[in-house]
Structure 1
């Protein structure tokens, strides 16, 4: 699996609790040769050239961040990063929540083998929690989030691609 694929959330995924109701969840995966730790995955993700563009925009919202802070978050010695806080962490997963509590970012690794070759599956997913539409009483992510979903899916795959490239370079 050398291409980034859309997949169902694994059963044990921290993000699964947001898959119910009117919210939105997604999950992307790519396989990389060798053993990659969750810390290496998270640090690479938040320090890619592409995510640094998002970090630059967050400076305008008074939510600056540094590569050192990304490394500390990845290592488990920091619980905040830019506009996110750690919601849940385990040896192979990390779930981040934005400060508005509307969105989540999720990372997970899983070891796998292909014949005699060891590999790591890198999972990345997102969630947007629903709110109640006062006119209809239905749970919905709302028109703004809904209109951004196409871009979001492309951006998520691009972030995972940039992460893979960074891991290959630092590797």
Structure 2
């Protein structure tokens, strides 16, 4: 397993590519999710759930539920940083939060993604216990959830 930044939070960096820009001149919604997916992969690698682990065990993390919030437009060539926080971990489950920032991870995020994942044995198709070392790694990144985490989509109020 690799170490993590002094802050204790894994960071992922990505530059917005030209073909990720939509007809409005901003990062297309699908690419926010792609970048968050890359950040999840980086977290898995850091926790020992990398490609060699997946190939050797037939186990991987599966996303069961995701909630994305698009908060600010992202321009072409933006340098993005994704900060990941673990909100909960137990034997088979992991709840995590990605926050995407334009530039350094300070100020307000441009987007967030909250994920509920299961560690799955791909042969049996059933949830399986996380390796102890991975659980310990995730537990070391536990942090309190921000007030907005765990909330679903808000109902639209009728226009008056």
TM-score (normalised: structure 2)? 0.34
Q: If each structure's helix is expressed as a fraction of its own residues, which one has the higher value?
A: 1
